[in-house]
């Protein structure tokens, strides 16, 4: 049996690193799906087309027609929401990658 034991700080650092890798993995999966998954590409294409059409039609709606404005804004909001969610996952992945790289660089500098 090894005499080496992990401190609570070591365990916490490993858990943090595992969490960062999980976040990075999610971001990679999203990036892959946005590029290569035909279902996701079709979904995003349809949402983008609906939002583009809604923006065009919104220009012709009377400013007093609240129902028509709301109808078009819902289509636009769907696309914006999907983009925000996917972009947030990608940003979190980039931040996790940067943290992993910084941690690796720190370890490399201090292990010598």
pLDDT tens digits for 7-17?
999 899 999 99
pLDDT, tens digit (0-9, with 9 covering 90-100), for 21-50: 999 999 999 999 999 999 999 999 999 999
On whether the pTM is more than 0.85, the answer is no
Q: What are the angstrom distances between the C-alpha of 40 and each of 13, 17, 70, 82, 90? A: 35, 29, 26, 11, 15
Sketch the domain layout of the chain as residue ranges: 8-103
- Give residue 42's pLDDT: 93
- Give residue 41's pLDDT: 92
The Cβ of residue 65 has, within 10 Å, a number of other Cβ atoms equal to 11
- Give residue 112's pLDDT: 59
Which residues are within 8 A (CB) of 76 and not within 5 positions of it... i.e. 6 or more apart?
Answer: 51, 54, 55, 58
Q: How sure is the predictor about 2, in pLDDT bands with cuts at 50, 70 and 90?
A: low
Q: Helices 8-36 and 38-58, interaxial angle, to 10°?
A: 70
Please say whether the beta carbons of 27 and 94 come within 8 A.
yes
pLDDT, tens digit (0-9, with 9 covering 90-100), for 74-93: 999 999 999 999 999 999 99
């Amino acid at each position: 049996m090894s005499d080496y034991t992990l401190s609570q700080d070591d365990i916490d650092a490993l858990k943090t690193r595992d969490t960062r890798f999980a976040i990075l993995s999610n971001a990679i999966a999203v990036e892959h799906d946005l590029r290569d998954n035909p279902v996701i590409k079709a979904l995003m294409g349809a949402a983008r087309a609906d939002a583009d059409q809604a923006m065009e039609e919104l220009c012709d709606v009377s400013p007093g027609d609240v129902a028509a404005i709301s109808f078009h804004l819902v289509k636009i909001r769907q696309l914006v929401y999907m983009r925000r969610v996917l972009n947030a996952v990608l940003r979190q992945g980039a931040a996790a990658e940067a943290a992993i790289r910084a941690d690796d660089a720190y370890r490399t500098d201090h292990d010598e």
